[in-house]
Structures are given as C-alpha cells and as structure tokens.
Chains A and B, each alone.
Chain A
Amino acid sequence: MATYDSLFSTLGLEDWCSEGQSDGPMSMADLLAKTKGSDVEEPSIWELPFPSMDALNESCAAFPQSRELTKGLEQGFLAVKDSLSLVLDPLTQPLSWFLDGALYAILNTPWWIVIPVLLAVVYLVSKSGKLVAFVGASIALLAFIDHYDYAMQTLAIIFVCAFLCVLLGVPIGIAMARSNTLQRMITPVLDMLQTLPPFVYLIPLIFLFSVTESKLYGIAIILYAIVPVIRLTNLGIRLVDKDVIEAADAFGMTPRQKLYKVQIPLALPNIMAGVNQTIMMSLAMVVIASLVSAPGLGVLVLRGIRNLELGVGLVSGLGIVILAVILDRVTKASLARINVSQKQ
C-alpha cells in the first residue's frame, strides 16, 4: 500500500499499472512491510513523499523510475554516438594534427631557439623590455627546476587552443552582434558551457573519441575557453559608439567596410579582453584535461594527487601559476597598448 495508490485508482489507470507489474525481486521495504503483517500504520501527513518518479513507481509499477531517465539518456547517447562520431571525427581531425604538430615542434626544437622566439613574441606584442626580462627569468626558473618540457607542452596546447578559440569565437561574436535572434539563441548555450562543471563535458567526449587522440582534450579546452571571446566580441561590437556608426553610414560605407574599418577596430579593446580571458581559461582547463591524457604540467599535478606526492604537486602547481602570470601580463600589456591608441 503506497501513498499514491488512490491517485491512480481515481484516474482509472489501475489496469495500465498492473500491466507493468514485474516479477522482479521484492524491495527491502516491501519485505519489511510484509513481515510486519497487515497492521501498517496510516502514514502521517508529515511523511508524505513528494510525488517523484520513484514514489509514483511504488504505487504504479508501469510508471518509470528515475534511474530509467539516466539510463535512457545514456542509451540515447550511445545510439547516436556512432553516427555522431562519423561526422565529428573527420571534422575535428585537423585539431589533432595541430596539437600533435605543435607539441612535436616545441619539444624537438632546442631550448636556445624556443626561448628567444618566445621572448621576441613577448616584445612584439608588449613593447616592454621589463616584461621581456620578467618572462625570460620565469621561463629560466622553470627550466632550471627541470619543468621546461612540461611547461612547453602546456604552452603549446594553450597556443593552439586559444588560437582556434579566437578563430572561431570572433566570427561567432560578430554574427551575434548583428542579429538579436542569434544572440538570444547562442546566449543560453554560452551560459551552459560556462557553468557546466568542466569534468562533465569530458564524459561524452570520452565516448565520442578515442582517449589516445589529442583532439579529445583539445575539444574540451576549446568548448570551455571559447565563451569569453564570443561574449566580449559581441559586447564590444554592440558597444561601438552609435554616432561613429551613423557617420560611417552617412559617408556611404558598405556593411563590410563598416565591419573592418569601424566596428572591429573600435571593439578591439573588448575583443582583446576576451582573448585574455580565453587564454586564462584554457590554462585552467589544460590541467583538468590531463585526466584525459593531455600532456604538460597537469600530468604532474595529477601524479601529485594520485600518489600523494606532495612536493611534485606543489612544484607543478607553482609552475602553472608562473605560466598564468606570464600569459596574463603579456596579454594585458598588449591590451593596454590598444587602449592607449583608442582613447576617446
């Protein structure tokens, strides 16, 4: 005798319910109730269960239990998995090539070429000697404590993923800025990507792709890190001074001229702020992605946790902090340079 029996009997669904009667083993609760005999106490209002799937199932065996929901989702996913990976596999294959290529290149180039090239890039975007010195010292420190290879792997992954994020995110952001409908459609997706715990989207990816392929973690990082660059591109273009846009129209700019000569240049500070966020988020994700075989400092962190090697974990954690500071400072410095030239 379950709480919601009367509900199904008033609805006249008893037949339907009894059809679903299973011959499965009795649950513990049923057994207990049976041993106690028929003197079951009238359940008090305080113990009224919420009419959840499981509670309703007790009264009506045909009603699905909640574990069937998760099972259904899983089976549904497994059913479309093969056809999905048939489409996604070749589509995302270049990502594997990029990642493998970048990792191979950075590890097989001698350090005395890689470090100067990195420093040259830093100088190019920041035009600041101080920052170059700081970055040089930080990388030297990492190399000195024999974390150079790990740090460079992490950097290579971040470069590839952040580059692809910008390549995909900026056009998406521009499209969003142009159409309110598209903005309404994409915003919830972005909200979901941003709030979904990063571990959660590793799960379906593991089913879709083989764990030995680098695109698995590449996709996870890109999905996680692409959000800010899309959001801020959209915002930046929407915030471009209406008067300047009007002037562009009044002088007869085509939509394409307006985009390249006015909207993107004026939105650049915001877009760069998005790029900065994207790089920082890829760094956060690259650590988590070591769970699915992403190489780099994250592997050491994982080893620290798994084997309780405190020192290894702490040192690699420190390495990640150093990388984060370097990346943040360099992107902020280039952002500041853009801001100066755009002061209103």
Chain B
Amino acid sequence: MAKDIKISIRNLYKIFGPNPEVALEYVRRGMGKAELLEQQKHVLGLRDINVDIHDGEITVIMGLSGSGKSTLIRHLNRLIDPTAGEIHVDGEDVMSYTGEQLRQLRRERMSMVFQKFALLPHKTVLENAGMAKDIRGYTTSDFEADARKWLARVGLEGNEHQYPHQLSGGMQQRVGIARALVSDAPIMLMDEAFSALDPLIRSDMQDLLLELQGELQKTIVFITHDLDEALKLADHLVILKDGEVVQQGDPQEILLNPGDPYIVDFISDINRARVLRVRSVMSPPDDGDSEFAGDISEKDNLESVLLKSEGDMSLNFRVLRDNKHVGTLHMKDLARALVPTAASADRSKNAA
C-alpha cells in the first residue's frame, strides 16, 4: 500500500507569545514546555513535527486537550502560520504561497469539517452545503444538483430547505460533511468533527465516514481525543503529547508495540479484542497440514473470531483476502495478543 505522499510536514514548530523567534532558540536547545512557559512566558504549541500524510488514507492525529492537535491541523491550510518548518502539499511549499494561491488551495484542494459545525445560520441547508462552490462564484442553480446529491448521500434528503437551527447536532454535522464533499477537494481536514455528538450518533457518523471513504478515497486528516475513534478510523495514527509526536504508524502496530509509557497508559483501557484485527496477529499461510475450523477475513476483529471459536483455544482459522488464502490464525496467538502490555498491567494492579 505504498501510496503517494499528499502532505508532508517537516520540522514544524509553533510557539505562541510576543516573541516566538527568541523562544524558538530555547526550544531548539531543548527547553521543555513547562520551563518555556515559566521562564520565557511563551507557550509551546508544536515541537519538531514530522508527519507524512498519504494520498487516499485516513490519518488520525490523536492527543488529549492541549496536545496541539487542533493547532497542527490548522497549519495544513495555514489558518495558523508556523514559527518554523515546512509544509508541502502535492510537493508544493505552502509556506511560499501568496494570498491568492493560498485561497486557491483552501477553495479547491482542501475542505474542512469543524467540531462546532460552523454552518451559516442564515442560509438553508442546501446553501450551506454549496458554500464552497458559492465562494468560487457559482450560483445556486449551478451547484444545486451536486449539493442535493451529497446531502442525500449523508442522509439529509428532504431537509434541503430547512435552516441549521432546525436540525439536531448530528444532522448539522452531516451538513458539515456534505459541505466538505460538495467542494470536491481531494483533502478533507476534520477537526474533532464528531466530538460534540453523543456516542450513538458518533458511531453512526464514523460508519458513514468509513463508507464514504471506501467510495471516494479522499485524503482525510482527522483530529480526535478519543482513542476508540482513532483506532476505528485510522490508516495511519499519529499520537501527540505536549506538542510532540510520541509515536506514529499503523494503529495495530502501535497497539501491539507501544513505544512510550504514555501510550501504554492510553491503550490500557481499550477493548483490544474489538480493535485488533486478524491481519495483525496472523501467521503466514501453513502448508496445508493444519485443520481449519473456518474461514475469516483479514479485516475481521479478534472479537468476532472469539465469537466464532466459542472460546476453544486449540482451533486454527484460515485467513482470506479477496478469497485468497493469505495466512493462518492460531487461537493461541490471538490469546497472546490480547494480553495487555506489562506496564499497563502494573498500572491496573496499582489502581486496584
């Protein structure tokens, strides 16, 4: 799955305060966030961020509040300018853009979905969905068909002429997603898009997003503070803490090999069986000597396999991808994968 790099972020620093250039020198010499705030009265937003965002993937940036994730996503379309560092989109240096080029980028190549929806309250759902086209100078009749199509796709058929305040939060965010889709931009930035929704609706919206992504293969950058959401959506997971990348990579990989005590703490509370997938724990295909209790897909999560095995740890399953035999899952490996990492076990003992 070696896809092209769509956006690349190199050595990105952001420092908030009256004199960030001076503070930047201290940070480069290794001053920490707390020290910087105390001694220099500057807030360290981001420190030395290097992330590659691949074409057609969902890259999830996860971190707790204050970790700089919202700051980071706003650098991609330069709603915030960095103190130092480079941002390349399609190989072009965004930092060198003029005002007009930047507007072009925001209009045609990047769309954005916001935590608080940020719809125009005085416009109808249809006009809101077509906002990006309207900004580019199209009239309502030009984009109406398109807007109706995407509104229907996100489940808002028949609501076109209502106003945002007449819709529930979940429906408003569907308008937000439709607005991003109508813009036809290949890159979608989603800033905590589902965090303001209640859990059931959030889960629906995640499914909707995955479904849309299956059809459209956009490059999505998704910000969240919710690990379950991150693991459900991510092709590539970036974990931020205090403005620094703690670990990034395949979410399954991070789960099985956490590289930092911070992440271990983070993942200790999640349901591993539901998040881990067969492909992360399977062995290469055997030469046919073992007995298979059944066929499973490499994308199945371990919970569904457990259900199939009814708890029998001696079974083996044949793993299929597009009906081809790609591996074997031994239930023993599955059990091993479910063992929580050592540090988190310690922590749960302490907690008990």
Contact = CB atoms under 8 A, between A and B. Distances in A.
A247 B116 CA distance: 10
Nearest to A244: B118
B16 interface: no
A165 B100 CA distance: 36
16 contacts: A243-B114, A243-B116, A243-B117, A244-B121, A246-B114, A246-B118, A247-B119, A250-B111, A250-B112, A251-B106, A252-B102, A261-B120, A261-B134, A266-B120, A268-B122, A344-B121
A341 B122 contact: yes
A343 interface: yes
B121 A246 contact: no
Contacts of A342: 121-122
A74 interface: no
A249 B120 contact: no
Given A243-B116, A251-B183, A266 B165 contact: no
Interface of B: 77, 79, 102-108, 110-112, 114, 116-122, 131-132, 134-135, 163, 165, 183, 189
Interface of A: 241, 243-244, 246-247, 249-254, 257, 261-262, 265-266, 268, 341-344
Contacts of B122: 265-266, 268, 341-342
B135 A253 contact: yes
Nearest to A268: B122
- Which 8 A-B pairs rank lowest in CB-CB distance, beginning with the nearest? A252-B106, A252-B107, A247-B118, A250-B112, A243-B118, A252-B103, A343-B165, A243-B116
Nearest to B112: A250
Q: Which of B105, B108, B165, B189 has the most C-beta atoms of chain A within 10 angstroms of its own C-beta?
A: B165
A250 B121 contact: no
A254 B99 CA distance: 9
A229 to B, nearest CB: 20
Contacts of A341: 122, 163
B117 to A, nearest CB: 8
B135 A247 contact: no
Contacts of A243: 114, 116-118
Contacts of A344: 121, 165
A251 B111 contact: yes
B114 A262 contact: no
